[in-house]
Structure 1
Amino acid sequence: METKIFKPDQIDQAAAEIKKGNLVSFPTETVYGLGADATNVQAVEKVYQAKGRPSDNPLIVHVADISTVEKYAQPLNEKTKQLIKQFWPGPLTIILKLKPHVLSSKVTGGLKTAAFRNPDKEATLNLIRKAGVPLVGPSANTSGKPSPTLAKHVYHDLNGKIAGILDAGATDFGVESTVLDLSTNHPTILRPGAVTSQAIEKVIGPVVDEQKHVGKTEVPKAPGMKYTHYSPTASVQIVDNENQWKSVTEWAANQSGKVGILATDAILNDYNWPQNVETYSLGNDVKSASHALFAGLRNFDLHSDITDILVEGFTTEGIGEAYMNRLNKSAGQKHFE
């Protein structure tokens, strides 16, 4: 299969592929998603095949308007309406109870709930409208690898496996959406993202933070709760504080292979790095670091000779919570000592 690159003025062609039951990657404000008709079981099955993703992992349903959510979900309560008004379109995914038999178990993972999102990217909203159906949209990468923030990242992983990629440039945030479970008695954050818990609580009051991995026999309600995520081929370690970087340079100099360093400019400019070190800038702060994290991991993943990657850690405040959530999963909780 030839994977075509569609520009925003070619959305009709991209939508035609969706209508045929084929897969088209689309950009959002967070990462690139892998789009298929959420109402077409065969198309949804192709998503799992292309990604190499276990089929018990539910998929987020991307919509262009609230009326589509109301078509599939149980009546929306007041808190849900307030959140939609405040954060949609935007990087907030909400899990809602479904009406009976409206979406395939291939989409829901066999649950009676589904995750909905209204992305803040006009090209993708136009694609959904043109296709005339909601789109499932997990990150458009090989399962377990860092999420794609550029069309070329998608092409690297999925060339020949999908019909096309809607290329609208780099994403804005770089980490996936916040996932908020509204199907329970207490609103619960299952995955932190660009919409922080503090921002949500300003709208609806207290929320529960429940970031965890489920067991082998459990069905996760949201992506990233069960399987390894965001991992490049090389081993990843987190550098927790500035005082450790001198030790990092000494450690790197003693490694037989190449070492990748992902850090802010202040760190990169403060040290004389050994010749076997390749560096990648995370910018100036945690916000820019969140945007650059996946791109940096992917950059080093393309270098087969890089055996270790060391990444700057941040405090878990604000967007730092989402950044450290992804980084800890990428590193398998390994910290430089």
Structure 2
Amino acid sequence: MTERLTPTDHGLARAAQILRTGGLVAFGTETVYGLGADATDSLAVARIFEAKGRPRFNPLISHFPDAEAAFTQVTADPRAQKLAERFWPGPLTLVLPRSPRGEICDLATAGLPTAAVRVPACESALALLRAVGRPIAAPSANPSGAVSPSTAAHVLNGLDGRIDAVLDSGPCPVGVESTVLDLSGKKPRLLRPGGVTVEDIEALIGPVERSAPLASATPVAPGMLSSHYAPTLPVRLNATSVEDGEALLAFGAPLAGSPLVWNLSERQALDEAAARLFAGLRHLDHEGARLGLRGIAVQPIPQQGLGAAIRDRLTRAAAPRPVTSPPSAQECPVA
């Protein structure tokens, strides 16, 4: 049963406790209700995808109580500073290079070198974020593909019993998602229109490139996510044996014959496997290259539940590499 909390001191303390211990709490912002988890805890973030039934590990927005906290996790240039001063708190998300000192886990960023950050303009949300003291990853609090929720009742209609709590702060005043602006390159690029107009952004920092509108599971450009996600070593899926010179990404009892193994989950728990996926591929790619291995074999992953998302990312990892270097932007089906 999902707890329904109110933004009193007691309710906020309870919601913060749930988030700090790896639970899921939906909370209202000025845009829509977000489904929050500790963005530094990969297992907690995996629970977001499990609760939503999301078929892909899309990058998530991390929420902060102020710009100072947000900019500890990313590298902010003068454009970002100006936009933060003008529009934060507010419905604007900035995509920026991840800081080497940042704590946001790979699963929250879908393994990309960038992170999406924002400061919501909702007092109860800000109070919650201050109480937690950690980045909170939060896509919209609805089952994947459903309409984004703007009330606590909407959240419960879709996720009751699948999340730990909802912090009921009343209806969301804006009701549409935040504007997402990619500042990871030389030219600002609009990834999603939202609560802050592109005209207001351009008045502050100059011309902004427009991208095609984003669907909830559509990459910004063909092959973009797979090219970001692909390790250097070739990936072979659904392996039932290990060939000579292959590292092994195992699930359950590992296959014999590899000098380098990363087990996603010995007990075959899909949430644990999701939480360990990005780190595992990175480890096998780096250590495999160092050892002179020629590829990565991947044991079969079940299709149900989070297995579909894990398989989707592995399929992208095994896809042919693009000829040119891809841009660093990302899909953002988030609050």
What is the TM-score when the length of structure 2 is the normalising length? 0.63
- Distance in structure 1 (CA, Å) of the matches to 2:130 and 2:151: 23
* 2:167 aligned partner: 166
Separation (CA, whole Å) in 1 of partners of 2:226 and 2:28: 24
Match of 2:303 in 1: none
Q: CA deviation at 1:158?
A: 0.5
- Provide closer, same or farther for how the CA distance between residues 51 and 133 of structure 1 changes in structure 2, counting only shifts above 3 A: same
Check conservation: 1:179, 1:192, Cα contact below 8 A. Answer: yes
3-state SS, counterpart of residue 139 of structure 1? coil
- Judged with a 3 Å threshold, the aligned counterparts in structure 2 of structure 1 residues 61 and 220 are, in CA distance, closer, same or farther, namely farther
SS in 2 for 1:183: coil
CA shift, 1:68, in A, is 1.7
Give, in angstroms, the shift of residue 53 of structure 1. 1.2
Question: How far is the alpha carbon of 1:104 from its aligned partner?
Answer: 1.8
Residue from 220, 224, 227 that aligns with 1:218: 224
The aligned counterpart of 1:85 is 85
Superposition deviation, residue 70 in structure 1: 2.3
Post-superposition offset of 1:100 = 3.1
- Say if 1:58 and 1:220, in contact at 8 Å, map to a contact too: no
Give me the identity figure in percent: 44
Q: Secondary structure in 2 aligned to 1:185?
A: coil
Q: Which residue of structure 1 aligns with residue 3 of structure 2?
A: 4
Deviation at 1:132, TM superposition (A): 1.3
In 2, the alpha carbon distance for the partners of 1:85 and 1:127 equals 21
Matched, 1:195 2:201: no
Instruction: Show CA shifts across 1:110-148 (max 9, x none).
Output: 100000010000101111111111100100000111000
Aligned to 2:99: 99
Structure-2 change in CA distance of 1:36 and 1:220 (3 Å)? farther
- Residues in 1 aligned to 2:115 and 2:146: alpha-carbon distance in whole angstroms: 24
Whether contact under 8 Å (1:55, 1:109) holds in the other structure is no
Q: Deviations over 1:204-257 (max 9, x none)?
A: 111011125426743299xxxxxxxxxxxxxxxxxxxxxxxxxxxxxxxxxxxx
The answer to whether the 8 A contact 1:14-1:166 is kept is yes
User: How far off its partner does 1:61 sit?
Assistant: 0.3
Structure 1 match to 2:48: 47
Measured in 1, the distance between the counterparts of 2:155 and 2:143 equals: 9
Amino acid at match of 2:47: K
Q: Take 1:106 and 1:182, find their aligned partners in 2: how far apart are those partners?
A: 21
Give the AA of the match of 2:92: L
- Shift in alpha-carbon separation, 1:220–1:64, aligned structure 2, 3 A: farther
- Structure 1 CA distance for aligned equivalents of residues 17 and 49 of structure 2: 21
How many residues are treated as equivalent by the alignment? 220
SS at match of 1:71: coil
- Asked whether the equivalents of residues 72 and 101 of structure 2 are also in contact (C-alpha less than 8 Å), the reply is no
Q: What CA distance in whole angstroms lies between the structure 1 residues aligned with 2:63 and 2:17?
A: 17
> Structure 2 vs 1, CA of residues 216 and 201 (structure 1 numbering), >3 Å: closer, same or farther?
closer
| Counterpart residue number, 1:241 | none
Name the structure 2 match of 1:27: 28
SS of 2:225 mapped into structure 1: coil
Secondary structure of 1:110 counterpart: coil
Give deviations 1:291-321, integer Å, cap 9, x for gaps: xxxxxxxxxxxxxxxxxxxxxxxxxxxxxxx
* SS in structure 2 of the partner of residue 115 of structure 1: strand
Asked if the contact 1:55–1:106 (Cα under 8 Å) also holds between the matched residues in 2, the reply is no
- Indicate the residue corresponding to 2:140 in structure 1: 139
TM-score by length of 1: 0.63
Report the residue type matching 1:145 in the other structure.
A
Which residue of structure 2 aligns with residue 320 of structure 1?
Answer: none
Residues 301-316 of structure 1: matches in 2 within 5 Å?
none
The CA deviation at 1:194 is: 1.4
Mapped contact 2:57–2:110 kept (Cα < 8 A): yes
Paired with 1:135 and 1:40, the residues of 2 have a C-alpha distance of: 10
RMSD between aligned alpha carbons? 1.8
Counterpart position of 1:182: 183
Distance 2:226 2:4 in 1: 33
Cα distance, 1:56 vs structure 2: 2.7
Aligned equivalents of 2:35, 2:203: Cα separation in 1:
32
Deviation per residue, 1:273-306 (Å, 9 max, x gap): xxxxxxxxxxxxxxxxxxxxxxxxxxxxxxxxxx
Distance 2:204 2:55 in 1: 35
Cα 1:205–1:217, aligned 2, differ >3 Å: closer, same or farther? Answer: closer
Does the 8 Å contact 1:56/1:110 carry over to 2?
no
Q: 1:18 Cα shift? A: 0.6
Q: What is the Cα deviation at residue 78 of structure 1?
A: 1.3
Amino acid at match of 1:87: F
SS of the equivalent of 2:45 reads: helix
Structure 2 match to 1:125: 126
Partner of 1:280: none
